Structure 1
Amino acid sequence: MAAVTIRNIPDETHRALKQRAKQHGRSTEAEIREILTEAVHPKGDVKIGTELAKLGRRYGGIDLNIERDRSVTEPAEFE
């Protein structure tokens, strides 16, 4: 796992991070990791497949009987 050093954090920011960590019952380092993770991977960031599955469950789903086309295709030519 990677390590990052952050220099020149203002004292007031460091105090606020420590207080926030205390409120969440974490170390300051763990709190900073959580903040960074949430910043790049927001919890509201949902994949389209997840939303479609949820929609299908809400309406009882659908039954698809689709047979795969197994015929051989010709390779593409790029000349």
Structure 2
Amino acid sequence: MANVNIRNLPDEVHRAIRIQAAHHGRSTEAEIRDILERATRPEQRLELGSYLASVAGEVGALTDEEHALFEQARIASPARAASFE
């Protein structure tokens, strides 16, 4: 785990964090860790499936012609195993 030193922290801020820590029943250091974790945690986790569905919704459905092009490409060059040599 990393260690961080915070220089020139105003006394009022330190005092407020100590009070907040006491209110939550933990040390000042634990309170600061909690504040930093909450500040850096995304509010809503982005899930890949949801993101792809939203992008597809913005783009719209494929036309029959586009679908036919994809189908032709799939038939013309079928999937094959990847080679890592």
TM-score range, shorter chain: 0.5 to 0.7
Q: Which amino acid aligns with 2:36?
A: L
- Give the corresponding residue for 2:47: 48
- Give the corresponding residue for 2:29: 29
Could you list the per-position Cα deviations for residues 22-55 of structure 1 after superposition, in whole angstroms to 9, with x for gaps in the alignment?
Answer: 000010000000000000014x323426x8xxxx
Q: Which amino acid aligns with 1:73?
A: A
Instruction: Give 1 or 2: higher helix fraction.
Output: 2
Q: Which runs of 5+ in 2 are unaligned?
A: 51-77
Number of aligned positions between the proteins: 56
- Give the corresponding residue for 2:79: 73
Root-mean-square deviation over aligned CA pairs: 2.7
Q: Percent identity?
A: 51
- Structure 1 segments of 4+ aligned residues over 6 angstroms from their partners: none
**What is the alpha-carbon distance in structure 2 between the residues aligned to residue 22 and residue 74 of structure 1?**
61
Q: Which amino acid aligns with 1:20?
A: Q
- Give the superposition deviation at 1:74: 5.2
**What is the alpha-carbon distance in structure 2 between the residues aligned to residue 45 and residue 74 of structure 1?**
37
